[in-house]
Structure 1
Amino acid sequence: MSDHIPFELQSEITKRLPVKSLIQFRSVCKPWKSLIDSSDFVKHYSGQQQHLLVRYQDAVDHKEKYVSIVDDDDTFPMQKVTVTIPPFVVNMLKHSTTMGSSHGLLCLYNDDMAVIWNPSISKAVAVVLPKRNYNEIWGTDLGFGVCRETLDPKIVKINYVLNPSSDIECVVCIPEVFTLSTGAWRSPYGSFLPRKSIRFSESRVAVDGVLYWLADDGTSEYNYSYLIILFDITSEEFKEVNLPDRLARNHARYLSIFKLRNTLAVLQFDVREILYDVWMMTDGVSSSFIKLFTICLSDVEALFVQEFRKSGEPVIDVRRICGQHDDLSLVVYEPNSKQINSLGINGYYYDVNAYMETLLLLDQPDLIIYGNTTPAFEA
């Protein structure tokens, strides 16, 4: 930029540039590198475009691959870029699962390790998942999100522990939180769950600094109700969101949750009819949900909602039976026309996550692994 342009104005201009350009500009001169690397610039930078990161097994060579698609109405889905995973992430996270995405960061995990990864700058940090010496671990659930105010990434781990002090068989939930700024695990500030009988599911999503879990009350395997448990990532407090009866008690349909237009969406899946009803929360705290539309396709053997575009259109993978072979496709469903458009990716085992460009993790050392430093808990 010209020396005649005030540096403050240069700073405002650079905040509107894509991450790829910013990384290149760090090599132009020391003032620009200092500006882009500063914690204030990283905190207040937010990319303008959403991307869809597609993880899949290639149908030709059967290798796992990642493709990033620019989620732009004018060019979608033509702008595709193959994403290279940092080598140390590949080595540590074999057979990994995506925990979720928040503020441009994705979190992957396996039984021993979690990795917080920024695909925009190809940088990641690893976190050892704590192993507890409880008498009996019934199970665990994990969630990931970023604080609204501080943009500090956090991993939440829910431990289901058999309480040995109880006269009857009783499973209690013990939460733990890893905070990137401290590099340590600890008990959350507000560690009390709304109910003791809650059972979390693997359906969870981070929305604007709040981590939501789909859960049930756990009172009976045959007589239960769905509910939503939220975890405020800043205050670290758990709260309960009740669902309307048509969602909470309809056991013939399965529920899952997603982020849709920066709010919480609940999807109700009918296995027999092979359709999804899409519901959106309207106020953030109560059981106020509205039904937006139904995803229903003809001549489909199976369908699975993967993610939502910035426009609100769902990205789904569908399976059709064509002669002796399964036709697996990743498509976008248009609710008004009820038409689908292919994303042009030939594969299977799809996993799709939306993310915005960010500079978070730019200040993190390369190849760093945070260890387990959590104090012991009592069941």
Structure 2
Amino acid sequence: MSQEFFTNLPSHITIDILSRLPIPTILRCKSVCKPWLHLLNSHEFTTHHLSESAPGLAVFQSKITSEIHEIYEFEDELDLDVEHRYKLLTAFKLPSHGLIQGSANGLLLIMPPEGLSICNPITREYMDIRTPQDSNYKHPQKFTFGFGVSTRTRQYKVVMFSHDPEKDKRLGFLQSECHVYTLGTGSWRRSAAPCLSYGSYCNGAFLNGNLHWLGFDANSKAWISCFDLETELLSTISPPTTDQQLLVADVFAFGDKLCVCDSWSEDEIVVWLMEEYGDEKSWRKEFVVVKREDMYGECVVRPIKVFKDGEMAMLWGDFFVFHWCSKRGTVSEMRMFEARGNCALDLIPHTPTFLSLSKSFGAMENVSS
């Protein structure tokens, strides 16, 4: 193939070809020549590559000797065993480690001991965000986060709910605060707050331009709180069941569907999917996983991925990842993802991107690499 081959191709065809390459190869292609460097850094390439990227996995593992974030790709081939379905793409360390609070279009929201951080693991850029001045992470304050992208303006937004359970008891009703941060503005602003309580540090499920959380009203009735990132308006969706089972449950984005995973039962884990988004009558019990004898205690379970052979990966609390085989009805633990004792494990579906934080938000944000 001659050197003039790519030179004579229209840019949109070159972009389509290059976007199909593995991410490490694309990074190396930036060193081929200046025209390719300019092309691979362009908005057109970033947008096209993101639209073609397959979701992977962002993992935070806190162990006794180390703390690290890792990005994995899925190798979904039928002849691969469980261990080889996860391919490490990159690993990175931030100055302050913290749990992953959300993933949106390739960017991660991470909560260190103080403040918040937005990072892109592929470009190795990050920026710190100060939380509102009137908020602090001290007991008994509870915080709930979400991170997503608006549908029309394509603005990246961080949403934070906070409430004080002890203050709620004194007042006799729920009193929450809502703050919204749009990346690139450098400031928070108040928005309408829900009259619901959430679990401490739970993160919002980003789907269809909305963030979703499972919360409870003053009568302990369960609701799915929905925050429209474009209009910044709140609404509620009825969950698939309103009994006390949802005390050990959470809401997730599972592929292109809204999902509620309920692990209240001592014997089984139930995964509900909303077939038609927004239609409360379309909830369907999709999977029922029979628990092993050693899977006890009140742990929220997060579905991760269903593979071609019917096996499903799920996160048990913040301890370990397990695979469930629907054909055999067996549960096997993934030793490569586990945390014991005082250690923690956190993971979330994540789609890599080449979006540059410095080019997109550097005018108003302090971006580092």
| TM-score bin, normalised by smaller chain | 0.7 to 0.9
Which residue matches 1:206? 206
For the 8 Å contact 1:127–1:369, the answer to whether it is kept is: no
**What's the secondary structure of 2:92's corresponding residue?**
coil
> Distance in 1 between the 2:135 and 2:15 partners?
51
Counting aligned pairs with the same residue, the percent is: 20
> Distance in 2 between the 1:6 and 1:203 partners?
42
Which residue matches 1:315? 313
Which residue matches 2:143? 140
> Distance in 1 between the 2:181 and 2:126 partners?
15
Which residue matches 1:357? 352
Which residue matches 1:157? 160
**What's the secondary structure of 1:12's corresponding residue?**
helix
> Distance in 1 between the 2:226 and 2:329 partners?
32
Residue 55 of structure 2: which of 14, 30, 50 is its match? 50
Which residue matches 2:179? 176
Residue 239 of structure 2: which of 236, 243, 266 is its match? 243
Which residue matches 2:223? 227
> Distance in 1 between the 2:89 and 2:68 partners?
8
Letter of the aligned partner of 1:269 in structure 2?
S
Question: Deviation string for 1:146-188 (max 9, x for gaps)?
Answer: 23344432110123379x9xx955543231111113232223x
Letter of the aligned partner of 1:51 in structure 2?
G
Relative distance call for 1:133 and 1:54 in structure 2 (3 A) is: closer
- Does residue 84 (structure 1) correspond to residue 91 (structure 2)? The answer is yes
Deviation at 1:240, TM superposition (A): 0.9
For the 8 Å contact 1:99–1:109, the answer to whether it is kept is: yes
Letter of the aligned partner of 1:100 in structure 2?
G
Q: So what's the TM-score if we normalise by structure 2?
A: 0.79
Question: Deviation string for 1:277-301 (max 9, x for gaps)?
Answer: 1101122224231001111133324
Question: Deviation string for 1:38-87 (max 9, x for gaps)?
Answer: 223323322433222332245xx64224443321211564253274324x
Bigger proportion of residues as helix: 2
- Between the two proteins, the alignment pairs up a number of residues equal to 340
Letter of the aligned partner of 1:254 in structure 2?
V
Question: Deviation string for 1:79-99 (max 9, x for gaps)?
Answer: 53274324xx2x233xx2221
For the 8 Å contact 1:71–1:310, the answer to whether it is kept is: no
Residue 285 of structure 2: which of 291, 298, 306 is its match? 291
Relative distance call for 1:369 and 1:333 in structure 2 (3 A) is: farther
**What's the secondary structure of 1:248's corresponding residue?**
coil
Question: Deviation string for 1:263-285 (max 9, x for gaps)?
Answer: 11101112533x21110112222
For the 8 Å contact 1:56–1:65, the answer to whether it is kept is: yes
Deviation at 1:122, TM superposition (A): 2.6
For the 8 Å contact 2:99–2:346, the answer to whether it is kept is: no
Residue 110 of structure 2: which of 108, 111, 115 is its match? 108
Letter of the aligned partner of 1:24 in structure 2?
R
For the 8 Å contact 2:96–2:113, the answer to whether it is kept is: no
Deviation at 1:310, TM superposition (A): 5.4
Question: Deviation string for 1:112-164 (max 9, x for gaps)?
Answer: 21111222333222111112189x995432211123344432110123379x9
For the 8 Å contact 1:18–1:357, the answer to whether it is kept is: no
| Runs (5+) with no aligned partner, structure 1 | 320-327, 372-379
> Distance in 2 between the 1:101 and 1:265 partners?
16
- Does residue 265 (structure 1) correspond to residue 256 (structure 2)? The answer is no
| Correspondence 1:25-40 to 2 at 5 A | 25-40=29-44
> Distance in 1 between the 2:322 and 2:23 partners?
27
Bigger drift between 279-288 and 338-347 goes to 338-347
Q: So what's the TM-score if we normalise by structure 1?
A: 0.77
Relative distance call for 1:106 and 1:133 in structure 2 (3 A) is: closer
For the 8 Å contact 1:231–1:239, the answer to whether it is kept is: yes
Relative distance call for 1:316 and 1:83 in structure 2 (3 A) is: same
State the Cα RMSD in Å.
Answer: 3.4
Bigger proportion of residues as strand: 1
Question: Deviation string for 1:333-372 (max 9, x for gaps)?
Answer: 123332335544164132221111211235449999948x
Deviation at 1:243, TM superposition (A): 2.2
Which residue matches 1:127? 129
For the 8 Å contact 2:262–2:300, the answer to whether it is kept is: no
Which residue matches 1:324? none
**What's the secondary structure of 1:8's corresponding residue?**
helix
> Distance in 1 between the 2:302 and 2:261 partners?
11
**What's the secondary structure of 1:280's corresponding residue?**
strand
Residue 189 of structure 2: which of 164, 168, 186 is its match? 186
**What's the secondary structure of 2:322's corresponding residue?**
strand
> Distance in 2 between the 1:53 and 1:307 partners?
14
Deviation at 1:226, TM superposition (A): 0.5
